[in-house]
Amino acid sequence: MTSTGRFTPALKKLVHYSHDHCSQCGATLPKGIPAFAGYNAARLEVYVGECCKDTIAELASHIYWWWSDYRRPTPETILWRYMDFSKFIAILNNKALYFPRADQLGDPFEGARGAADREKEWKAYCLQYFREAIQTAPGPSKPSENLAGEAERLYQDFVEFGKREIQNTFVSCWHASDVESEALWRLYCPPETAGIAIRTQFSALDLALDDRFSVKFGYVQYIDFAKNFSGTYDRIFWKRSSLRHEAEVRGVITKGWAKNSNELGLLIPINLPLAVSAVVTSPFASHWFGSLVKSTIQKFDINLPVVPSNLLAEPFF
Ligand SMILES: [Zn+2]
């Protein structure tokens, strides 16, 4: 059955909430086998496994178990994005979220497989893997005299492919936490900069982003690159453990593997009233800043709740 790629917000929601369960019979969906998202004959949304595949009249897409590779946020996960006021105005003006290209995010380890001083080790591992793959591939037996050369060629292709993949990957970074972070206010909106934080819930953010773009969300995994490699797949979700304080959930868009991507970022349309549960003003901003944020939002004909930082709550003794 060919897939139509048509995802209504209701179908997206069903996929999120059903997660690893068949929406028809309730069975646990086995890992590693694609599930099916689509619509039944009555045009109602269904998300099913092989068990109830026959109920699908229109297949929107196969759903692969990518989220088993790293932790996927739950629909209720609270996400924050701290930013200076000019970035917020850009979001209002564009009614879109900017996803910078991965190599523009400022972290040289974005998408890295490992630390440079361990590249030899990684290469040796890959070459061994490729030599075995060449020798055990089905078909007529392979001449072994150029085995090393063939493995080297595959390795170079693999490296080239990896670089291109990063240049075609676009990322939106969010901080996962139930509460505000004083540290992140200081980092992204230091006292001399007026700033805000957008608070959202993962399910709302995901539903609010334009359906035409497939955004893959996941928790960033923090590792010590001196001891670990980030692996072959999903390495855009691995960062150095020194960045653990970011507690990041990121949305990732991969746009094919074109050779010369000259886009430095993508603007992804977003339904702001759906996505934004609150615009929180910086605890360091002047007392008039909250009303400026409110009136600015109104000028863009959008209705978003603006609340002061709860770091300003007063103690009693
Ligand atoms: Zn089922």
Instruction: Dump pLDDT digits (tens) for 201-254.
Output: 998 998 899 877 778 889 998 988 888 888 666 888 889 999 999 999 999 988
> Domain segments of the chain: what residues?
9-68, 78-110+166-311, 116-165
Rounded Cα distance, 44 and 211, in Å: 18
* 51 alpha-carbon distance from chain centroid: 30
The Cβ of residue 127 has, within 10 Å, a number of other Cβ atoms equal to: 16
Helix 289-299 to helix 85-94 angle, to the nearest 10 degrees?
20
What does the pLDDT read at residue 142? 61
Rounded Cα distance, 138 and 120, in Å: 29
* 174 alpha-carbon distance from chain centroid: 9
User: Which SS3 state, helix, strand or coil, does residue 173 take?
Assistant: strand
Judge contact between 96 and 267, C-beta under 8 A.
Answer: yes
Nearest to 165 by CA among 126, 207, 111, 118: 111
Residues in the chain: 317
Q: Which is it for strands 306-308 and 216-219: parallel, antiparallel or unpaired?
A: unpaired
Measured in Å, residue 20 CA sits from the centre of ligand 1 at: 11
CA torsion 312-85-211-165 (nearest 10°) is: -110
Q: Which helix (H) or strand (E) holds 198?
A: strand 195-201
Neighbours of ion ligand 1 (CB under 5 A): 22, 24-25, 27, 51-52
Measured in Å, residue 8 CA sits from the centre of ligand 1 at: 21
Rounded Cα distance, 173 and 236, in Å: 12
Q: What is the pLDDT of residues 81-118, one digit of tens each?
A: 999 999 999 999 999 999 999 999 888 888 888 899 99
* Reported pTM: 0.80
Residues with Cβ < 8 Å from 146, sequence gap 6 or more?
A: none
Judge contact between 77 and 63, C-beta under 8 A.
Answer: no
What does the pLDDT read at residue 69? 47
Measured in Å, residue 204 CA sits from the centre of ligand 1 at: 26
Q: Which is it for strands 78-84 and 221-223: parallel, antiparallel or unpaired?
A: unpaired
Nearest to 135 by CA among 120, 153, 148, 123: 148
Percent of the chain predicted with pLDDT > 90: 52
Judge contact between 188 and 83, C-beta under 8 A.
Answer: yes
Measured in Å, residue 165 CA sits from the centre of ligand 1 at: 35
Measured in Å, residue 39 CA sits from the centre of ligand 1 at: 14
Judge contact between 231 and 111, C-beta under 8 A.
Answer: no
Measured in Å, residue 234 CA sits from the centre of ligand 1 at: 29
Measured in Å, residue 9 CA sits from the centre of ligand 1 at: 22
What does the pLDDT read at residue 127? 92
Rounded Cα distance, 264 and 100, in Å: 6
The Cβ of residue 37 has, within 10 Å, a number of other Cβ atoms equal to: 24
Rounded Cα distance, 6 and 26, in Å: 24
Measured in Å, residue 26 CA sits from the centre of ligand 1 at: 6
Rounded Cα distance, 170 and 295, in Å: 32
Write out the two tokens for 6: 């048509």
Q: Could you say which residues of the chain have pLDDT below 50?
A: 69
Measured in Å, residue 55 CA sits from the centre of ligand 1 at: 9
Judge contact between 273 and 304, C-beta under 8 A.
Answer: yes
Residues with Cβ < 8 Å from 312, sequence gap 6 or more?
A: 283
* 55 alpha-carbon distance from chain centroid: 31
